[in-house]
Structure 1
Amino acid sequence: MQRGSDSCKIAVPVHRRLTDFEIAVVGHNLALLSEYQGVLFGPESKRPLLESTAKELQKSTGSSILVECFGDAYFTDVFGYSWLLLKREFYDRFDDVSHVLICQPDAFILSADLKKWLASGYSYLGAPVFVGFDKPTMPLEFSNFLNGGLSLRNIADARSALNHVTLVRKSNWTRGFRALGLLQAINAILRSFGKSIVVIPKNPHEDVVWTGPIANALEAFSIPGLETAAQFSFENMPRELFRRNGQRLPFGCHAFGVYDPEFWREHFPDWTHEYLSNSCTVVSESSPNEPDRGSRSN
């Protein structure tokens, strides 16, 4: 199928009934990017929920919204979801466009200028992640990973990458092969055929896999540095990124209710303020006891 290099679908994962606020956020995002087709994707068993949610959003946005369903196992936890986004199966569903914008219900679009990013030439765009992940160490150091909650992915590049790499979960035998130098030797041979074995965690975070081991293994899979990534999206440390970005907001952001919601209250429309004020209270009260999620690269 012929497609333009600036065509895109806005893909929103839905595995449960969204709250009224989430519906409002998703509606805002789809309306702002109404030039592009919206898609809700989720588990096959929740198809009726996805279809009713799509109808609800169509009323508020005036745009048609498609539904795509995948196996239920992909939506049992964050790692199942990660495996879906590391499968050709997912990207094949979007082969009629050049890009897919993953826009989770806790992402907020701040600019309608998506064309700029579609033309940027990157394989994957997302918010910069700092060393320490959920709890960045100071002074801040860019980890070279990019967050997937709001992420723009080139479909052809993703499919090509998954054709050239074989993802293998970390295990005793992969550790043994690596210790003996066998994995490196095998990859040296495979690279002459344009292939590579990439070892990933048993429970992977797909954004770390895409922007870490896959990007490292494939020179053609391009991701931006800190400066460009910060112009695309903020997640953690939004106030610092705003300063480094010349007091300019990015195209969008992710996890605004978790990371410095007071900052976002200063920049979001009025209808979000009550939610963000409540988020400030929850974060303030709960953050000392928040469980350490640890390094997502392990």
Structure 2
Amino acid sequence: MSCAVIIPVYRSCMTPFEKVSLLRLRQLIHDDVYLIAPNGLCLDEYLRLWPDLRCERFDPRYFASIASYNKLMLSPDLYLRFAAGYEWVLIHQLDAFLFHADLSRFCNSSYDYFGAPWIPGQLVHPVFSNPRLLKLFGTRVTVGNGGLSLRRILPTVDLLTSKRDGADRWSHNEDGFYAYWGIRSKSFRSCPLEVAALFAFERDPEMLYRLNGQVLPLGCHGLPKYTQEFYTSIINPLLPDIEGVDSELACIFDPEL
């Protein structure tokens, strides 16, 4: 099992939580971590926190908007950058936080895509985005969330190559593409919901925590946007042991919440 961790960034400065996210990642995963950044972006703030970070540069047009970022995530070129040295990529946006680093249990499985559960799910279709048409013809998907996701490189490249026209026309967020084909394709398999809950949380973490028998997943995504209250008592005790987290960063969550 070999996995590259890739961190998409588009700003030269980080928020306090993003710094904590990066430092936590440094604490748990020491090697094979890459910034994915536009050509010309100053990365000094990231490298001050983690001098050994590697970097792969891409055309700035991919970082101009959410839509253009989706294009990058649906480009075979992104994954081919890592295909020679790795079997997997873990996409770790800086609104994610890792609880542990046991990637092997997922990388040693037969699935090709892991993301947080979507409950009750989202309706997606390779052509339609109109809500009425989605209701009639869409497929309900329950595993996606690309912000913290694990993707097997060669099946991902094969899927994007075989569905090139569909990827170019995809009108939803990029994770919906993998969610849709993860249950429709015979050669690209998304993990089932119960496995996704062991991989990551995004929305409804309290419910997913109960589903897991009160076991935390690999990590969570969408912080501090979603359900900050749930994570306060979990993350705050971890902060003193993360090298580089000073008194300012240790206050990212209000203990009174």
In structure 2, the residue matched to 1:45 is: 40
**CA root-mean-square deviation:** 2.2
Q: How does 1:43-192 map to 2 (within 5 A)?
A: 43-46=38-41, 49-50=42-43, 52-59=44-51, 64-95=52-83, 96-131=85-120, 143-168=141-166
Task: Give 1:91 deviation, angstroms.
Answer: 0.5
Letter in 1 for 2:114: L
Task: Give 1:199 deviation, angstroms.
Answer: 5.7
In structure 2, the residue matched to 1:243 is: 210
Task: Give 1:257 deviation, angstroms.
Answer: 1.2
**2: distance between equivalents of 1:218 and 1:152?**
18
- Does structure 1 retain, via aligned residues, the 8 Å contact 2:113–2:182? no
- Deviation per residue, 1:204-254 (Å, 9 max, x gap): 300011111x32442110111111000000000000000111011101110
- Does structure 2 retain, via aligned residues, the 8 Å contact 1:9–1:38? yes
Letter in 2 for 1:248: V
SS of the aligned residue for 2:165 comes to: strand
- The counterpart of 1:13, out of the listed 8, 12, 19, is 8
Task: Give 1:131 deviation, angstroms.
Answer: 3.5
**2: distance between equivalents of 1:238 and 1:28?**
20
In structure 2, the residue matched to 1:267 is: 234
Task: Give 1:54 deviation, angstroms.
Answer: 4.2
TM norm structure 2: 0.82
Q: Which runs of 5 or more residues in structure 2 are unaligned?
A: 123-139, 240-248
Q: Which runs of 5 or more residues in structure 1 are unaligned?
A: 1-5, 134-141, 170-197, 281-298
Whether 1:200 and 2:167 are equivalent positions in the alignment is: no
Task: Give 1:26 deviation, angstroms.
Answer: 0.8
Which gives a bigger RCO, structure 1 or 2 (Cα 8 Å, sep 6+)? 2
- Deviation per residue, 1:6-58 (Å, 9 max, x gap): 11111111100212331221121132012x31100111131xx22x2442132
Which 4+ runs in 1 deviate beyond 4 A?
none
**1: distance between equivalents of 2:253 and 2:16?**
14
% identical equivalent positions: 32
Whether 1:210 and 2:178 are equivalent positions in the alignment is: yes
- Does structure 1 retain, via aligned residues, the 8 Å contact 2:92–2:149? yes
Larger Rg: 1
- The counterpart of 1:220, out of the listed 170, 187, 190, is 187
Task: Give 1:121 deviation, angstroms.
Answer: 2.4
- C-alpha change, 1:273 and 1:237, in structure 2 (3 Å) is farther
TM norm structure 1: 0.71
SS of the aligned residue for 2:50 comes to: helix
SS of the aligned residue for 2:215 comes to: coil
Letter in 2 for 1:106: D
Whether 1:22 and 2:11 are equivalent positions in the alignment is: no
- Deviation per residue, 1:260-291 (Å, 9 max, x gap): 111101211333763222896xxxxxxxxxxx
Letter in 2 for 1:19: T
- C-alpha change, 1:263 and 1:257, in structure 2 (3 Å) is same
In structure 2, the residue matched to 1:173 is: none
